[in-house]
Structure 1
């Protein structure tokens, strides 16, 4: 019954989302002469300002906290945190796969949720992956893209990072329909929701510590690189490819930094 309620809530929100996107002029991303997609970024000036603020917050607070987390917390416990957070998100993944008409994805997400909840001690142990059920998230921004809605202008959101009008609306719908958020609000335990949000942010940042450092060091324009990677990853997800939840960062060669005298 909870899944049905969440699905109906998402469907009711879809009309409002579509209206918001049409008002914002959600055209599909234009194509270059070589057939590659380019990013619609008419707000590049303000976006770069927000990007710079996010970069400062990451360098001063988020990355140092994540480094301590990685150094202090052993790998098995970090994996347990990741699995538990993903398990809490599973009802939303199931609902979005259903809304996309991806019944195989919905079956997979349901299998993971049931396996890890029952056999994985409430989602702490990733028994599902060991049983051959890989992680495949789905969000409402992706759902809107599957329905044929264009991305709209590229956006950089405070702390949340790269996005676009469609995905920002999708994030809002997912937040409103999040069963964990609904439950914590209902029982007056908003602190649990904030705790999960913080843990989720550190968990996601820990997955790409080296990759982001490499991108910063090797990118001529880090803003443009992140923008391109985000657009490619979202486009691949909407096309139904097997792209992972995090962007697939390019590999960079290792450079030996001269020792300071």
Structure 2
């Protein structure tokens, strides 16, 4: 799973992603623990748990100090219609990435929906602020594509600020960044603030929609970290299967954000 990209400032990111994928070959379960333990190990697969819990606590503190208060202000100031337009705009910008990954997965009908939604909402929906097309276009990313291609998900990770991932999802995020036409245009025109601004707005809007849900998950969890880990993997599996599973949906905590490589229905 090697990734080669340009730019000195981005080589460090690529190297880090490669290292994350590399650790997926480390840490194997103790064969003497029996089949039940092996099954549990495969399901959890969190060999970096001490480090992950540390970053989980760091992210939790950052959320409490910064992201949640800003999200509450954002939700209180903007009416629902305005927040929906923000979400529509961000989703519309993501349609080219959804399109590319649907093509790579062989989902040509879904890819057609992505392009139909993108052009309709861009030209008739005031740059994507309004969902004129009314076409359901679920999230598709390179992490899901790699799962369809049979790439192992690797260990569970909690990244600073970015939140829960697996090595497969983290590597996929890097590929998606370079495939995204918005990022390419921004880089070519020295508009480096554009991707960061979009990510920040996405984070705030996403967090504003998950305040009560995450509060309830935390309130009812014996181990909040373990619960989030389980729900994250269920949610990723649900995305890979295009909603065919009955897994619980976890509000995205990634501020942007694997999976079992099973074929989509």
The answer to whether the aligner puts 1:25 opposite 2:24 as a matched pair is: yes
Runs of 5+ unmatched residues, structure 1: 1-8, 10-15, 251-261
- Helix, strand or coil: the match of 1:25? helix
Task: Please say if residues 18 and 171 of structure 2, whose CA atoms lie closer than 8 Å, have aligned partners that are also in contact.
Answer: no
Partner residue, 1:180? 182
C-alpha separation in 2, matches of 1:32 and 1:104: 41
In 1, Cα distance between equivalents of 2:139 and 2:166? 18
Aligned residue in 1 for 2:259: none
- Does residue 192 (structure 1) correspond to residue 197 (structure 2)? The answer is no
CA distance in 1, matches of 2:245, 2:132: 22
> Any conservation in 1 of the 2:21–2:168 contact (CA below 8 Å)?
no
Q: Trace 1:1-261 onto structure 2 (pairs within 5 A).
A: 23-25=22-24, 38-129=43-134, 133-241=135-243, 248-249=249-250
Between 1:184-193 and 1:35-44, the stretch displaced more is 35-44
Instruction: For residue 25 of structure 1, report the CA deviation from its aligned partner.
Output: 3.3
- The verdict on how the C-alpha distance between 1:237 and 1:249 changes in structure 2, with shifts beyond 3 A counting, is closer
SS of the counterpart of 1:156? strand
Return the offset for 1:38: 1.5
Shift of 1:118: 1.7
What SS is found at the alignment partner of 1:51? helix
The 3 A distance-change label for structure 1 pair 156 and 21 is closer
Distance 1:160 1:68, change over 3 A: same
> What TM-score do the two structures reach when normalised by structure 2?
0.79
Contact 2:55–2:158 (8 Å) recurs in 1: yes
Separation of aligned partners in 2, 1:106 and 1:155: 30
String of CA shifts for 1:84-128, please: whole Å, max 9, x gaps.
Answer: 011111111100010011112211211211221121111010112
Where has structure 1 moved over 2 Å in runs of 4 or more?
A: 18-27, 29-33, 239-244
Unpaired stretches in structure 2, ≥5 consecutive residues: 6-14, 30-34, 252-265
**Mapped partners of 2:209, 2:130: distance in 1:** 18
What CA deviation, in whole Å up to 9, does each residue of 1:152-195 have, x standing for no partner? 01000111111011000001111122111111111112222221
CA contact (8 A) 2:182 2:195 kept: yes
In structure 1, distance between residues paired with 2:137 and 2:48: 34
Query: How far apart, CA to CA, are the structure 2 residues paired with 1:185 and 1:165?
Result: 26
